Structure 1
Amino acid sequence: MTAGKQDYPKASNALVFGGMLTFIAGMMLLMAFASPYWIQSYQETFSNFKHMGLWEYCFEQFRYPYYQFPKLFDGCHYVFSQEYYVIREWLLPGWLMVVQAFVTLALILSFTSQSIIALELVRWPLEFVLTYEWFLSGIAFLCNAITAAFLFLAVTIFGGECWRRDWIMYPNFNYLSWSYGFAVLSMFCHGFSALFVYLDARKNWIMRKESQNLVAQMHPNPGRNGFV
């Protein structure tokens, strides 16, 4: 009796739970990546600086003291917009560009992991997944683990450097906001999801021979049909 496609093993609980955590972590990372609330000023300080994210700054009637012309910066603008051209060097110190790079790479790796885990969960393409599931889970594990490491570096660097007095003026008026918090939560979720996906990869490595035999049974030798 040959194995039919309806007999293939389903994804393990470890992979299902790891996939759910990866999806939640990826959504939080996307929100942290896109939202301009990594650091924010206290409302009662009436600061000209309002809030910022990795790619956007918001000011209210702000005048940069080292710019020779009396230009006021007002509203929220993309950090690479023409509006911020004259103060871009001040807005983007080297350490912040490093944080941008780490978070961008983390986002790419997170969605790569989500795509791989999604293919494993729906078992498509079936024979490829059954044959190389240990390898796919291994790649997803590495993506999640590296994502967690990149986010750890990003939030550590940002949390340590955002109070510098040569960056946003009056740093005591500011506090780390919810976008930064989402990045921290995403880091932990990616770390936990990496653990569950690793357990799935190890199980599939042990059972790789059985999976290969199952795939072979899906394609019986047609030359033997009708012979005993």
Structure 2
Amino acid sequence: MTTRLINLSCLAISFVAFVLNLTANSSDRWWVAIKRQEFENVGLWQICFNHYRHRFDFYGKIYQGCWWVFSPEIYKIFSWISQPWFRAVQAFCTLSMVSMLFALLMTAILAFSRELGKVSSRYILSTALLTLTSGLFMAIAVITFAVRGKDRDWMPRWQQNWYGWSFSVAVTSCILQVVSGSILLFEGANMKLVKNYMEKMYIQRKRLFPPAPR
């Protein structure tokens, strides 16, 4: 009963982590303007301007409203928005979301398994490692964004901008993924140690008390 409760708790934590991961990936409040200015907010896949004119755009185009970062309308400033470190954040967040989805499915199978005794420790450890890998991907993404988001050469008026709620959601998702993965890792390692101990005891018992000859 205790093992099933632990697995159900891991499933609940993993589900919340995945929902937060998906929210962070799809929202546009990673970096927001504290004061009203020409830049409003930016997410992994969307950016919003308020009558913004890029300093290196000699055509003088004014950008107003929210745009998909790959939109043809803003292709002239795409290289400025999507810098190498920003593309790395996008990639690691996407990898985290995909791996967390598979980890969630594996955790659900584990939690709703009718015969927990037949679940191998290798399966539990694989689920734990996949969950921790997802957390590692998200950790790399949030750390990279935390360090490089303040660059003066990125969004205008950097001193008037700060991390938005989407960034906080990503950090929370990362923490929950690590928590869920750590619990599963402890459970799988404990099951493997118990199994190895029982096998050694069985072998030792056969040596000490061999079966009587027929």
TM bracket, shorter-chain basis: 0.7 to 0.9
AA in 1 matched with 2:32: Q
Query: Match for 2:155 among 155, 168, 175?
Result: 168
Q: Write the distance in 2 (CA, Å) between the matches of 1:83 and 1:133.
A: 53
Match of 1:12, SS state, is helix
> Do the aligned residues in 1 keep the contact of 2:131 with 2:178 (CA within 8 Å)?
yes
In the other structure, the counterpart of 1:199 is 186
1:33 is aligned to 2:25: yes
1:73 is aligned to 2:60: no
AA in 1 matched with 2:27: S
Query: Match for 2:9 among 11, 17, 29?
Result: 17
Q: Write the distance in 2 (CA, Å) between the matches of 1:167 and 1:203.
A: 48
Q: Write the distance in 2 (CA, Å) between the matches of 1:202 and 1:13.
A: 17
In the other structure, the counterpart of 1:215 is none
Structure 2 length as normaliser, TM-score?
Answer: 0.85
Match of 2:58, SS state, is coil
In the other structure, the counterpart of 1:63 is 53
AA in 1 matched with 2:79: E
> Do the aligned residues in 1 keep the contact of 2:110 with 2:119 (CA within 8 Å)?
no
Query: Match for 1:140 among 127, 133, 139?
Result: 127
Alignment of 1:122-137 (within 5 A): 122-123=112-113, 131-137=118-124
Segment drifting more, 87-96 vs 136-145: 136-145
Q: Write the distance in 2 (CA, Å) between the matches of 1:13 and 1:188.
A: 21
1:50 is aligned to 2:40: yes
Per-residue displacement from partner, 1:40-91 (whole Å, max 9, x unpaired)? Answer: 001xx32111001001000011111101112111111110111111110000
Alpha-carbon RMSD: 1.9
Give the total of aligned pairs.
Answer: 196
> Do the aligned residues in 1 keep the contact of 2:11 with 2:104 (CA within 8 Å)?
yes
Q: Write the distance in 2 (CA, Å) between the matches of 1:198 and 1:14.
A: 12
1:119 is aligned to 2:101: no
> Do the aligned residues in 2 keep the contact of 1:50 with 1:59 (CA within 8 Å)?
yes
> Do the aligned residues in 2 keep the contact of 1:17 with 1:196 (CA within 8 Å)?
no
Q: CA deviation at 1:204?
A: 3.6
AA in 1 matched with 2:105: S
Change (3 A) 1:51 1:73: same
AA in 1 matched with 2:5: N
AA in 2 matched with 1:25: A
Match of 1:16, SS state, is helix
Where structure 2 has 5 or more consecutive residues not aligned to the other structure, the ranges are 197-214
AA in 1 matched with 2:63: F
Runs (4+) off by over 4 Å: 206-209
In the other structure, the counterpart of 2:88 is 98
Query: Match for 2:175 among 188, 203, 210?
Result: 188
Q: Percent identity?
A: 24
Q: Write the distance in 2 (CA, Å) between the matches of 1:90 and 1:46.
A: 21
1:83 is aligned to 2:70: no
Match of 2:32, SS state, is strand
Structure 1 length as normaliser, TM-score?
Answer: 0.80
Q: Write the distance in 1 (CA, Å) between the matches of 2:137 and 2:78.
A: 25
AA in 2 matched with 1:82: P
Per-residue displacement from partner, 1:3-35 (whole Å, max 9, x unpaired)? Answer: xxxxxx895332221111111111111100100
